Structure 1
């Protein structure tokens, strides 16, 4: 599964690496709503939550449908380049028509048809009903918020802007001052890498989950996620462009704005102490979990985790044939879960404890990516 962005014919000068204060604020708000996703930011989260005034904390709880499970497209840059300040980016959001704003605010968190360009809940009764039903499933506070947004979009839009501005005054201005230099330096590095060594290397430097595919059908940016989607960076009604936004608050998430009629945006986490060699592709993680799910292979792993064994020794221990053991070892080896070494005439197999120990965090990173 993956999100595919068609960039056929897109000049590389329209691929922009740049930090976004609005995207970073929304990433920070997500961290405050879901601190368990971001254990490396525990200190910042604890300090920030402790310093929030009760009124601001309550308003954030009302609006967290916009950023809790994922983030609404209104909280990512929508122009050719992100604004230099939060106020500039909020001004761009204010120019959005109500139908577009409301649909973007609700289509991720309250809808299962993201990317399809369906009707606005302001103009379509079916879309309205679905938005309310899905909001109700998230709790009475979220339902009230969505009801108010659908009933009076201008008033709620102004309320959301004030909320974000109050967050800026309360904690984000200081946070942005600390991280903006790192994000700007990362964006400059990726831009220079693209100029000197090409788009493929700059994308790979942003994340190992982002690749460039080129063939006779064109060029595509492919983002490896447990999600399916397609969009284009060369829509003439929107204008050509792909924006890549570094974030200090994003890991382990890798966000992709790929809704129809929007300029695509990828928000990627910058290198930090939290980041390590990732789990590789989602497909590899799935293959490893499937390899371990078989009852015979679980029994094999009990031995292989303790010491190196030959195929014959494993066959004797489990009371099955050597060819059957070989078939199961081939699956485990193909998933990268075994190490093999030769001792004279014998080949010994052993579980790669480091890889297996990482499976839990790899699984979480894959589903949160």
Structure 2
């Protein structure tokens, strides 16, 4: 399983390594909402959370599905600008201006990407114009919770109002905590970007990608980048560019933007903090037996990012609900997942406090 990028015709001058303030803000928000994904940032997350005003914290919760279970492409608006050659802005304000340049259709598509069921790299009908897709979007939102339903209805009814609300939220997050964080990490990101750019110039794309991550490789003959992930996707750069975006807060996530019609982009971590000690031999044997099936491994990729219903997982994997239930039962008996009921929905989620003890390779694999 992998995500591939066809770079046929891509010239060196259309490959750029550029930090992105808005992308880093999205990563920061994710780390605040899912501290278990980022053991090395727990001190930072605790300190930031402690000084957030209750009002801002509540507003962040209204839209946390944009960064909690997925990394919404609203945090990479440069990739959606026509021509597919725009670069991230130097400041958060510049990137929010780029966000304002996206069409309502683009913003809605990116903002509604909060479930595991989507046709991300294919042309799809927009719910702003198609009643059937609108109903489907609301059904998916219902499985996520009431505030997702409210947000989705607001977004579909009046996109400009929600876009203005989102921009104001990002500006308030910047004032509350991100400006200070960015002032500390931006120099590291700029230095890494300079280093990778020099690698590109002197050694070529293959060596630069190797320096980004061992999970990224280039087949020079086929002109294809392959990112080793528990996901399947394909993108063609065409006459667009390729943007490599370093992140200081993102480990272990390695994100590939391959949305249909957008510019290709890979966001990669520049550091790798340590994880907790691995599980005991007895625990490891029992739990790895549960993970020996490829379907259960793929389920873990979804369940590591958020809680999902059996029906959602069945749709995403092209299987029946009973088949998914049997796999979930095995994972639950191994104490790898937790289950909770929300109204008429039963949701399952990977227990990251347990999984973290299986070691960094597994964590990195399911969260990559």
Note if contact 2:20-2:88 (Cα within 8 Å) is conserved in structure 1: yes
Task: Please give the alpha-carbon distance, in whole angstroms, between the structure 1 residues aligned to 2:291 and 2:30.
Answer: 33
Structure 2 counterpart of 1:265: 265
Q: Which has the larger radius of gyration?
A: 1
Which of the numbers 81, 87, 90 marks the counterpart of 2:96? Answer: 90
Check 1:193–1:123 CA distance in 2 against 1; reply closer, same or farther (3 A cut).
Answer: same
Equivalence map 1:1-369=2 (5 Å): 1-76=1-76, 77-78=78-79, 80-109=86-115, 111-215=117-221, 218-234=222-238, 236=239, 240-274=240-274, 359-369=358-368
Task: Please give the alpha-carbon distance, in whole angstroms, between the structure 2 residues aligned to 1:32 and 1:99.
Answer: 29
Check 1:211–1:125 CA distance in 2 against 1; reply closer, same or farther (3 A cut).
Answer: same
Structure 2 counterpart of 1:305: none
* Secondary structure of the corresponding residue to residue 230 of structure 2: coil
Note if contact 1:90-1:161 (Cα within 8 Å) is conserved in structure 2: yes
- Select the structure with the greater relative contact order (CA < 8 A; seq sep ≥ 6): 2
Task: Please give the alpha-carbon distance, in whole angstroms, between the structure 2 residues aligned to 1:292 and 1:179.
Answer: 37
Note if contact 2:252-2:272 (Cα within 8 Å) is conserved in structure 1: no
- The gaps in structure 2 that reach 5 residues or longer are 80-84, 276-286, 294-355
- Once the two structures are TM-superposed, the CA of residue 82 in structure 1 deviates from its matched residue by 0.8
Structure 2 counterpart of 1:352: none
* Secondary structure of the corresponding residue to residue 261 of structure 1: coil
Superposed CA deviations along residues 130-172 of structure 1, whole A, max 9, x for unmatched, are 2111111111111111111111100000000000000000000
- Once the two structures are TM-superposed, the CA of residue 364 in structure 1 deviates from its matched residue by 2.0
- Once the two structures are TM-superposed, the CA of residue 107 in structure 1 deviates from its matched residue by 3.2
Compare 156-165 and 12-21 and name the one that shifted more. 12-21
Q: CA RMSD in A?
A: 2.2
Task: Please give the alpha-carbon distance, in whole angstroms, between the structure 2 residues aligned to 1:221 and 1:160.
Answer: 33
Task: Please give the alpha-carbon distance, in whole angstroms, between the structure 2 residues aligned to 1:248 and 1:255.
Answer: 13
- Once the two structures are TM-superposed, the CA of residue 94 in structure 1 deviates from its matched residue by 0.3
Superposed CA deviations along residues 335-365 of structure 1, whole A, max 9, x for unmatched, are xxxxxxxxxxxxxxxxxxxxxx985432222
Note if contact 1:211-1:221 (Cα within 8 Å) is conserved in structure 2: yes
* Secondary structure of the corresponding residue to residue 165 of structure 2: helix
- Once the two structures are TM-superposed, the CA of residue 112 in structure 1 deviates from its matched residue by 2.0
- Once the two structures are TM-superposed, the CA of residue 272 in structure 1 deviates from its matched residue by 4.0
- Once the two structures are TM-superposed, the CA of residue 64 in structure 1 deviates from its matched residue by 0.8
Structure 1 counterpart of 2:278: none
- Once the two structures are TM-superposed, the CA of residue 24 in structure 1 deviates from its matched residue by 0.2
Task: Please give the alpha-carbon distance, in whole angstroms, between the structure 2 residues aligned to 1:177 and 1:117.
Answer: 38
Please give the TM-score of this superposition, normalised by the length of structure 1. 0.75
Structure 1 counterpart of 2:350: none
Check 1:174–1:292 CA distance in 2 against 1; reply closer, same or farther (3 A cut).
Answer: closer
* Secondary structure of the corresponding residue to residue 144 of structure 2: coil
- Once the two structures are TM-superposed, the CA of residue 7 in structure 1 deviates from its matched residue by 0.5
* Secondary structure of the corresponding residue to residue 221 of structure 1: strand
Check 1:49–1:15 CA distance in 2 against 1; reply closer, same or farther (3 A cut).
Answer: same
* Secondary structure of the corresponding residue to residue 234 of structure 2: strand
Task: Please give the alpha-carbon distance, in whole angstroms, between the structure 2 residues aligned to 1:109 and 1:89.
Answer: 25
Note if contact 1:244-1:265 (Cα within 8 Å) is conserved in structure 2: yes
Superposed CA deviations along residues 158-202 of structure 1, whole A, max 9, x for unmatched, are 000000000000000000000000000001100101111111010
Please give the TM-score of this superposition, normalised by the length of structure 2. 0.75
* Secondary structure of the corresponding residue to residue 137 of structure 1: helix
